[in-house]
Chains A and B, each alone.
Chain A
Amino acid sequence: MNLDLSDSELAFQAEVRAWLAANVPAEPLPSMDTAEGWALHQEWEAKLAAERYSVVSWPREVGGREASLIEWVIFEEEYYRAGAPGRVSQNGIFLLAPIIFDHGTPEQQARFLPSMATGEKIWAQAWSEPEAGSDLASLRSTATRDEERGGWILNGQKTWSSRATYAHWGFGLFRSDPDSAKHAGLTYYLFPLDAEGITVRPIAQLDGEAGFAEIFFDDVFVPDADVLGAPGDGWRVAMSTAGNERGLSLRSPGRFCAAADRLVELWKTHGDAAPQSRDAVVDAWIGAQAYRLFTWGTVTRLADGGEMGAAGSVNKVFWSELDIALHETGLDLLGPEAELAESPWMDGFIFSLSGPIYAGTNEIQRNIIAERILGLPREPKGVQK
């Protein structure tokens, strides 16, 4: 048992650190959920991609450098330590790409992955519907077969679709067989958000910015070439994404360790005025270290061929609550200055509040932990139409 990095891993770390030090913008970019910020974040993605840093773990032919899982964690640690910009391409890279690798055709891989890696095409996830949130499989948006044109006709409404305001493509589940049972009869589709029949309506989030959107589908044609996985197999295909979203890939430890380090710095300057925050500062730092070490354990297991499985739910509840605690403590230390609009701690806090809700609410995660890890009996379900 050891946490030592190999010589090549240390060399990779040094290379990444040096590149980030030379290239990370000195001033934070404007929010990616504004037109100006969006363009600047796309430019940053292109800059990363030029050095194959945008998708380090991907194969070389689609823009990566075939980094190992350990190197990926190293990259993420360095990325957050350097205070580099948020990843506007995150949903495509982390949520969709793993599915395209596993379930996509070679043609789809060649068509979609390179432009995702460069940030030229940004993807938005279209899963939730007004009546299908935690109970995702009850979704009602439909896909109807169009034999003549060789594809499907989408109708319905998706909502809470992050980045959809400015994104280029969407991915989501539709009910392609109205007669089959709930989880069966769903199919996974890819569609350009400027397709005929699609209307995107931005929704302002808690911070006032249009970070997500509703998407309306009115007879939108999707060719067979843009169906991901087999028709009717959408639920199984999508659930491999859910594991990624909850688990390792979305929230790397570097993010929390960097925030905890900033919190300790804030304590040094503000702690005298807020001594009651001492325990919270310490617990936030301990939590970030726990997350870092836990992640190395997960990486070890995955590298040995293990699977994330329901452990992703343990991970998700922990990081989402840690993220809020970290930022709440920062705000406590800032005292009456905390509410100022220019405070990065407030931005981080508002963002952290979404953590226990998206990617499967923490209540759903606790059900998964209780039923699949602890082996407690499933709860009887309500009557469904």
Chain B
Amino acid sequence: MKFELTEEQAGFAEALGDMLTKADTVGAARAWADGDTAPGKAIWKRLADQGVSALIVPEDDGGLGGSLVDLAVAHEVLGFHLAVGPWIETSAYLATALPAGDALEALAEGALGTVAAPPHVPYALDGAIADQVYAAGPGGLASATAGTVHGSVDTTRKLAEVTAGQDAGARDLDAAFDTAVLACAAQLLGAGERVLADSVTYVKQRKQFGREIGSYQAIKHQLADVRIALDFARPLVLGAALGEVPVSAAKVAAGDAAYLAARTGLQVHGAIGYTAEFDLSLWLNRIRALVTAWGTPAYHRGVVLDSITRSA
């Protein structure tokens, strides 16, 4: 029994974090939103070089054979730094769904892959610019072509309609979906942590009535509640990665915690937080999008209920 990250996992997270801290992920995200994907793709390549794309792809299939805990660790860092591009689709869903072969190997080496998996994922994120596009359905996984692109509340998320084509063969699509849900939960956790960290920094520096606003209990207690929510969501994400609880439980808790962080973060920033120019807005809108991405909270609560009323 040892419920904490190994030194390797903690070191991996630190290395990814260090790289992204220096990489101007916010600038890349704003460019991505404006249609310039070059800076974002450069960061994508560096993350792929560090092993994020290949992380859970089996070693025999050209991957690193890492665990779901490794995947959760990486995606928390991606969420913290607002990484752009179809990371959940590539490194979680397709890494699990695709059979061994050239397509999977290409993704492991750094190609961008995306997928629509209705009803929960009706559009393929970044379908218009991805190297590989798929559509998942009751009949399995098919290659697809991207069509009309819709904007999202998160301007970095470009959502493409897809038309299914040839069957692509697939491993277990349910497992792929669960893996994507786990990655999404981990990103929410990371995004929530970032909003909390930035909010703490802000309330320590902002003064009103002659005092830092962070010295008032009205501010302190709200931020303390965010700390509590995130602290209790993390073990569920890691526990889900170990198979201790359904991934849906992790998604619900991480979504609630991140959303609380977003609401609270906006409130303690006041009007400046409500501007598009201030970077906080990027995380607020990312969180709002991810809360309903890969299954809504209502859907996931239903999944949890089914699992506990069956087994209990």
Contacts and interface: CB of A to CB of B under 8 A. Distances in A.
Interface of A: 1-6, 9, 70, 261, 264-265, 267-268, 278-279, 281-283, 285-287, 289-291, 293-294, 296-297, 299-301, 311, 314, 317-318, 363, 365-367, 369-371, 373-380
Most buried by B among A70, A287, A370, A378: A370
A276 to B, nearest CB: 13
Interface string B278-312: 00000000000000000000100100110011001
A369 B228 contact: yes
Contacts of B219: 376
Contacts of A375: 200, 204
B2 A290 contact: no
B224 A374 contact: yes
Nearest to A289: B245
B252 interface: yes
Contacts of B298: 279
B55 interface: no
Given A2-B242, A366-B221, A70 B1 contact: yes
A296 B252 contact: no
B253 interface: yes
Most buried by B among A290, A318, A367: A290
Most buried by B among A2, A278, A378: A2
B219 to A, nearest CB: 8
5 contacts: A1-B4, A286-B304, A375-B200, A376-B214, A376-B223
A289 B239 contact: yes
Contacts of A376: 200, 203-204, 212, 214-215, 219-220, 223
Interface of B: 1-6, 9, 69, 196, 200, 203-204, 211-212, 214-217, 219-221, 223-225, 227-228, 231-233, 235-236, 238-239, 242, 244-245, 249, 252-253, 298, 301, 304-305, 308-309, 312
B216 A1 contact: no
Nearest to B233: A290
Nearest to A317: B228
Contacts of B309: 264, 267-268
Contact of A293 (B3, B217, B221): B3
A264 B304 contact: no
Contacts of B225: 317, 366
A318 B2 contact: no
A363 B245 CA distance: 31
Given A299-B3, A374-B224, A378-B215, A287 B305 contact: no
A198 to B, nearest CB: 38
A369 B204 contact: no
Most buried by B among A5, A281, A369: A369
B227 A369 contact: yes
Contact of B312 (A261, A291, A367, A374): A261
For the complex of A and B, 10 pairs with smallest distance between CB atoms: A370-B220, A293-B235, A369-B224, A366-B224, A296-B3, A377-B215, A376-B214, A290-B232, A293-B239, A366-B221
Contact of B227 (A290, A300, A373, A380): A373
Given A289-B236, A290-B236, A293-B244, A300 B228 contact: no
B223 A318 contact: no
A297 B3 contact: yes
A222 to B, nearest CB: 38
Tell me if B's interface is mostly helix, strand, loop or mixed. helix
B312 A264 contact: yes
B242 A290 contact: no
A94 to B, nearest CB: 22
Given A264-B309, A376-B204, A1 B242 contact: yes
A265 B225 CA distance: 30
A300 B312 contact: no
Given A285-B308, A289-B249, A376-B220, A314 B227 contact: yes
Given A296-B3, A300-B1, A363 B221 contact: yes
Contacts of B217: 363, 366-367, 379
A373 B200 CA distance: 11
Nearest to A368: B224
Contacts of A290: 232-233, 235-236, 253
B146 to A, nearest CB: 36
Contacts of A261: 312
A286 B253 contact: yes
A277 to B, nearest CB: 11
Contacts of A374: 196, 200, 220, 223-224, 227
Contacts of B252: 282-283, 286
Nearest to B249: A286
B308 A300 contact: no
Nearest to B5: A1
A261 B309 CA distance: 10
B220 A1 contact: no
Given A279-B298, A294-B231, A376-B215, 13 more contacts: A1-B69, A3-B3, A3-B239, A6-B1, A293-B3, A297-B4, A300-B4, A314-B228, A318-B232, A363-B217, A366-B220, A371-B220, A378-B215
Contacts of A283: 252, 301
A363 B218 CA distance: 10
A278 B3 CA distance: 30
Given A70-B1, A370-B221, A370-B223, A278 B6 contact: no
B302 to A, nearest CB: 8
Contacts of A373: 224, 227
Given A1-B4, A369-B227, A380-B215, A287 B304 contact: no
Contacts of B212: 376-377
B308 A291 contact: no
A297 B305 contact: no
A293 to B, nearest CB: 3
A278 B238 CA distance: 25
Contacts of A9: 1
Contacts of B2: 1-2, 300
B267 to A, nearest CB: 15
A287 B235 contact: no
A100 to B, nearest CB: 29
Contacts of A314: 227-228, 231
